[in-house]
Structure 1
Amino acid sequence: MGTEGAVRVWSGWFVEFFASLAGVFGRVDRRRTAMAYLKALLAPVERKNGWQIAEHAGHTTPDRVQWFLSRPTWMADQLRDCVRSFVAVHLGRPDGVLVLDETAFLKKGAKPAGVARQYAGITGQIENCQVMVFCAYATDAGRALTDREPYVPAVWTPDAQRCREAEIPRACASGVVTKPELGRRMVERCRRAGIPSGWVAADSAYGQDRRLRAALERRRIPYVMAVPVDETVVTHGTGPLRADALTAGVPLVFERRSCGTGTKGQRRYDWALAEVTWPGGTENDGPRRGFVHLLPVRRSTSDPSQSACFTVHTRTGTPSARPSG
């Protein structure tokens, strides 16, 4: 399908999606404002401020858009559920991937809900920011965000008054919920909502959490997650070893493969695969029946000392070239 055909399909989806939101915004004028606002955000508007967005939407002033954004004019959770239903119909595939990740929003002051000095991935430093955990869905038909959860740091939970003023729900303010636990909840919601998925994927912030991995294994959900090099693994011929010690001390067969096309062409790495187990598994420190634990190792082609490790829980017999849940 060419670009023009893809745009036509997308435009049809966009109109169809907003037609399904009649109950989310309460009034048709609010739904139309939301539609015009999103179209302006996606359009090649030079500066997406109130005046230029209003001009693109055909309004004489930005008052309507500003009023829409400054008031609770829609039901966020109901909108999320509508997005999930739409994604399941139009993008759903049995081998779809649920991807867990987080985004930091830099803030000033101490009033915004959940704001604290914490690690911000967008800068790689400790910043005053909010952190939101997201669950995305990806298939060969497209990708979309399907859920979100705000992370409430420990400095907030003892202060009930502060949480009330910031309108943090009581369930979120009752105690610290880790980011991996938020991710697990979102995976469960997506699956209950009927989004077909074969895999869960995440970076090492989630992969190193064995409780998350064990929860997915209990539900027989395949996953692939990055882990730090100090992750402890066990092979049939070794005792417990750090992952980097395993890759350095056990002969592994590497094969050069591409991770896909990047800005500079094919992103090629050397890959090796070891069958392992890790402490804390769900069945006598090993995978459940019919499943296997694997440790893929990715090594730089230009500097073999640079490597990364991943944990995989998948069904026995899954081919390594094109995994299938």
Structure 2
Amino acid sequence: MGQVYLRGLLTDGRRKSIEPMAARLGADGNRQALANFITTSPWDPAHVRAQLAWRMEAVIRPKAVVFDDTGFLKDGTASACVSRQYTGTAGKVTNCQVGVSLHLASDHASTAVNWRLFLPRTWDPASPTADPGKVARRTACGIPDGVGHVEKWQLALDMLDETRS
């Protein structure tokens, strides 16, 4: 299902969520199988990221490691880690998710090889600024109990350590 999901991400179409991708994929677009792959498959993403970094290091011959944070604008509240926060994507504080990524870069190419979803303090039950509604949605969003708020700079250092290893 990984290949089918990737094909769905690379096909034309504005929406890259499961339902619209499944519709565009025709016979391969089993919505239930795609949803299961994304939400409950037991594969470890660290192994995928490690293999990607290993392969891209050989191709790109990086001269730099670049960190970035990117906002994913959201209208609703169903997605994990959505909160009112600043994002350069919109140039203001707005309702969004934020992803932190590590890229290998050279003069001619770059690629993201590691990434994390930023969990705002409002989603962390141990935070004094926790929002009870957001904390209650953690289970539905698949956020494990032991996962809490980590500053973006610390996420970047953790990804660097993981990628180097």
Q: TM-score range by the shorter chain?
A: 0.7 to 0.9
Q: Secondary structure at the match of 2:101?
A: strand
The 8 Å contact of residues 133 and 149 in structure 1, kept in 2 or not, is answered as: yes
Q: Secondary structure at the match of 1:185?
A: helix
How far apart, CA to CA, are the structure 2 residues paired with 1:72 and 1:52?
16
How far apart, CA to CA, are the structure 2 residues paired with 1:130 and 1:35?
21
1:162 equivalent among 121, 133, 137: 137
Alignment gaps of 5+ in structure 1 = 1-29, 55-60, 193-325
Deviation at 1:188, TM superposition (A): 1.5
Please tell me the root mean square deviation across aligned C-alpha atoms, in Å.
2.7
Mapped pair 1:72 → 2:37: yes
Instruction: Describe how 1:51-130 pairs up with structure 2 within 5 A.
Output: 53-54=24-25, 61=26, 64=29, 66-72=31-37, 75=43, 76-93=45-62, 96-130=63-97
Letter matched to residue 93 of structure 2: I
Mapped pair 1:181 → 2:148: no
Aligned to 2:147: 172
Mapped pair 1:145 → 2:112: yes
Deviation at 1:86, TM superposition (A): 1.4
- For residues 34 and 79 of structure 1, do their structure 2 counterparts lie closer, same or farther at Cα, with a shift above 3 Å needed? same
Instruction: Describe how 1:1-325 pairs up with structure 2 within 5 A.
Output: 30-34=1-5, 36-37=7-8, 40-41=10-11, 45=12, 47=13, 50=21, 53-54=24-25, 61=26, 64=29, 66-72=31-37, 75=43, 76-93=45-62, 96-158=63-125, 161-173=136-148, 176-192=149-165
Deviation at 1:90, TM superposition (A): 2.0
Alignment gaps of 5+ in structure 2 = 15-19, 126-131
Number of aligned residue pairs: 148
Q: Secondary structure at the match of 1:71?
A: helix
- For residues 181 and 32 of structure 1, do their structure 2 counterparts lie closer, same or farther at Cα, with a shift above 3 Å needed? closer
Letter matched to residue 160 of structure 2: V
The 8 Å contact of residues 138 and 144 in structure 1, kept in 2 or not, is answered as: yes
Deviation at 1:142, TM superposition (A): 2.0
Q: Secondary structure at the match of 1:155?
A: helix
Aligned to 1:219: none
Aligned to 2:128: none
Q: Secondary structure at the match of 2:76?
A: coil
Indicate the structure whose relative CO is greater, using CA pairs within 8 Å and at least 6 residues apart: 2
TM (normalized to structure 2)? 0.73
How far apart, CA to CA, are the structure 1 residues paired with 2:5 and 2:76?
29
Structure label with greater radius of gyration: 1
Identical positions, percent: 24
The 8 Å contact of residues 50 and 65 in structure 1, kept in 2 or not, is answered as: no
TM (normalized to structure 1)? 0.40
1:5-55: CA deviations, max 9, x gaps?
xxxxxxxxxxxxxxxxxxxxxxxxx244245435x43xxx4x45548843x
- For residues 50 and 191 of structure 1, do their structure 2 counterparts lie closer, same or farther at Cα, with a shift above 3 Å needed? closer
Letter matched to residue 114 of structure 1: C
Structure with greater strand share of residues: 1
1:64-89: CA deviations, max 9, x gaps?
26445422255333322221121122
Structure with greater helix share of residues: 2
